[in-house]
Structures are given as structure tokens and as C-alpha cells.
Amino acid sequence: MRILVVEDDPEMGRLLTSWLREQGYDSELAANGLDGLIAAQNGGFTAAAIDVMTPGMSGFELSRRIREGGNNMPIILLTARDAIDDRVRGLDSGADDYLIKPFDFAELGARLRALLRRDAGQRTTVTVGQLELDSMSMQATLGGERVTLSVKEFIILRLLAGAAGSLVSRATILEEVWGSVDFIDPNIVDQYISILRRKIQPDLGDVRITTVRRQGFILDVS
């Protein structure tokens, strides 16, 4: 998943993009509103975190221009201004959420996950190569053949497919599937991944699950 960060403070931008990468996201930094708009128009981003007070073009205007261009990716506005009018203006500009500075990065992560879940929930079918996942029926097919999965197996595979080609961390899987990273042995994720690998045989289709040591997993097309 690629996250666009629009932030004119160099240190804050560096911290945000570094933290997002640690969470398994691919992040790109734009230092002003115009560069942010150009990046958004080039496409390929899953969501955006935009500072309101960016030079050249405010976060409000940037959000509006992104929406006018037909891009419906989730947008979170970041600002030190907490006036009600500003929040309303931000949401009216097309943003999905509004986070007041200073904020804990963990809260930003939770807001992003919630928006991405909502966005993914609007798409009932995800296709990666010859793998097709139907969230309504909880059914998976690979190369036209049905693959029998438990609920947790399906959710994990759906997470990986929704971020195909990008890393999904163990922490993200634990949070999304088990609801927490506390008091749960992270090795349980590896056990489920092993089961999925056995069920997604190479001779059935063209997808594979790659392990990135100490980080997480990537669903790739062969």
C-alpha cells in the first residue's frame, strides 16, 4: 500500500514517512501542495496524509482538487488548527478524516487502517493474477478452481491481496485478524501463512506468498 504524505516541515515529513515504512507501507513525501497534487494525479496511492498549512496550495484546496480529478483514495488532513470551522471545511473539501497536531503516530496508524478497511469493504471482489477473492461469499478461486479457506485464512489472504506487491507486517495481520498485538504469539501468523501456502499450490495459479524476514509477507504474481 502506497501512502502519499504532503508535509512542508522536513523533520516531520521524514518522521512520518519513516514510521509508515516501518509499518509496512510504501510512503512518498511531497513538500508542498503543488507537488502533492502532481503526485496524486500520477496515481498509484492507496491513501494520503496531508498537512493543511502547505505552501503553494493548502491541504483544503489539495483535497478538493484530488476529488475533482476523480481520485477517491482516503485522505486524512493533519493540522494544528482545531477550530470546528476548520474541521468542517476540511471534510467539505473531500477529506475523510481530520487529525489534530500533535498526535501519536499510533493514532494515525489506527485512523489509516480504519479508512483502508472501509475503502476495501466497498470492493467486494479482489483479483490478483489468477486469484479471485469474493468478500461477500467468502470464496476464493485460483486458476478457476475453488480454494477452501477458513474465515481467518480468507481474511489474511484478503489483506495480502488488497496490498498485492507490497509488504503486510505481522503486526498489521494480528491487529486486523485477531484485533490486537498484545498477548498473542506472533508465530500464529506464520502458521496460517504456511497453511495458505499449502492451499495455494503453484500448479493451480500464478500467485505466491513471500516472507520478508522479521517484517511480514508479500503476495506476488509469479
What is the residue-level pLDDT of the chain in tens, covering all 222 positions?
A: 789 999 999 999 999 999 998 888 888 999 999 999 999 988 778 899 999 988 889 999 999 999 888 788 889 999 876 656 666 766 778 888 888 888 888 888 888 887 877 666 555 688 888 999 887 677 899 988 889 888 788 889 988 998 888 888 888 888 877 776 676 777 889 999 999 999 987 677 889 999 998 889 999 987
Residues 57 and 166 in one domain: no
What is the signed CA dihedral for 220, 155, 1, 106, rounded to 10 degrees? -140
Handedness of CA 159, 162, 166, 172 (dihedral sign): negative
What backbone phi and psi angles, to 5 degrees, belong to 57?
-160, 125
Picking from 121, 151, 180, the residue at the C-terminal end of a domain is 121
Residues 183 and 215 in one domain: yes
- Within 23-104, residue ranges assigned H as helices are 33-42, 59-68, 84-92
| Residue 39 structural domain | 2-121
Q: Judging by DSSP bridges, how do beta strands 2-6 and 47-51 pair with one another?
A: parallel
Residues 91 and 21 in one domain: yes
- Within 123-212, residue ranges assigned H as helices are 151-162, 170-173, 187-199
Contact between 54 and 78 under an 8 Å Cβ cutoff? The reply is no
Residues 117 and 157 in one domain: no
Q: Determine the pLDDT at residue 187.
A: 83
Number of domains in the chain: 2
Picking from 95, 121, 147, the residue at the C-terminal end of a domain is 121
Picking from 121, 142, 163, the residue at the C-terminal end of a domain is 121
| pTM summary value | 0.56
Residues 92 and 164 in one domain: no
Residues 7 and 115 in one domain: yes
